[in-house]
């Protein structure tokens, strides 16, 4: 079985910069992974990503050095089993609010007797049976990341982080902003106070924590403050901003011609 490089870097304390993919397209993933990001998030919660497209994207990611993280749509053991079997090594789980939810997630990514993940001896994850050590190593190599994005999750953050088998936490700034009464405004000082508080409390118990932030100034602040893994852009955002930039440039050029 291949070593989970993303998990190994977290254990080493190496900060990792990532990018978020929501277009559910292997071509977009191929372009993104030709840049030197440390990790890429393949989203199935807020993107039209189904298992065959996730598998195709994982194959694309495997062509290079970028590590894949797959966000499942919910804390559901069937969803975990399916993405793990097609080759995901690192899984991000949304909306984890308490210890019970964390324990369910841990059980879902581990084979018995440590958990309840179903066993198949021939999947893409073990190269269709060629990796004879997969069943013995998978529990150690799979990386489990849990999202904290509610008031209850914030209250229980350190207890969640303490659950054995949880490898790291992740702040969801948009949902957290909504929970704090600032829907659509993750930059609000109340939200930022909660985010930096989550960073401090997570590090107090010795667990890494990550975040997504596409605002360059805020992303830089999070990196400088010590967030362990930060996604700094999304494929949709890059496509939209690039399209708008080139259109604005063309309109400026047209306006200059008309003035002449």
Active centre residues (catalytic): 46
**What are the backbone dihedrals phi and psi of residue 223, each rounded to the nearest 5 degrees, phi first?**
-65, -45
Q: Which helix (H) or strand (E) element contains residue 218?
A: helix 216-225
Q: Give the residue among 105, 218, 227, 235 at the shortest CA–CA distance from 170.
A: 227
Alpha-carbon span 175 to 184, nearest angstrom: 9
> Is 97 within 8 Å of 153 (Cβ atoms)?
yes
> CA–CA distance from 53 to each of 27, 40, 60, 108, 237 (Å)?
11, 15, 11, 22, 21
Q: Is 198 exposed, middle or buried (0-12, 13-18, 19+ CB in 10 A)?
A: buried
Secondary structure class of 24 (helix, strand, coil): coil
Q: Which helix (H) or strand (E) element contains residue 209?
A: strand 209-212
Alpha-carbon span 164 to 166, nearest angstrom: 6
């Amino acid at each position: 079985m291949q070593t989970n490089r993303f998990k190994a870097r977290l254990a080493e304390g190496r900060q990792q910069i990532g990018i978020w993919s929501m277009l559910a397209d292997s071509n977009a993933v191929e372009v993104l992974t030709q840049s030197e990001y440390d990790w890429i998030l393949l989203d199935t919660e807020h993107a039209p990503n189904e298992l065959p497209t996730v598998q195709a994207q994982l194959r694309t990611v495997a062509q290079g050095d970028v590590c894949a993280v797959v966000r499942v749509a919910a804390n559901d053991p069937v969803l975990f089993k399916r993405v793990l079997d097609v080759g995901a090594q690192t899984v991000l789980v949304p909306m984890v609010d308490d210890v019970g939810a964390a324990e369910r997630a841990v059980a879902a990514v581990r084979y018995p007797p440590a958990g309840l993940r179903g066993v198949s001896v021939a999947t893409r994850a073990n190269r269709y049976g060629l990796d004879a050590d997969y069943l013995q190593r998978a529990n150690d190599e799979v990386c489990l990341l849990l999202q904290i994005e509610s008031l209850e999750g914030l209250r229980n953050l350190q207890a969640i982080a303490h659950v054995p088998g949880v490898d790291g936490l992740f702040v969801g700034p948009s949902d957290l902003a909504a929970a704090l009464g600032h829907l659509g405004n993750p930059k609000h000082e109340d939200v930022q106070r909660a985010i930096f508080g989550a960073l401090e409390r997570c590090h107090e118990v010795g667990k890494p924590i990550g975040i997504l932030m596409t605002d360059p100034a805020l992303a830089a602040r999070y990196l400088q403050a010590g967030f362990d893994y930060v996604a700094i852009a999304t494929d949709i955002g890059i496509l939209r901003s690039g399209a708008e930039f080139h259109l604005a440039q063309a309109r400026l050029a047209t306006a200059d011609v008309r003035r002449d």
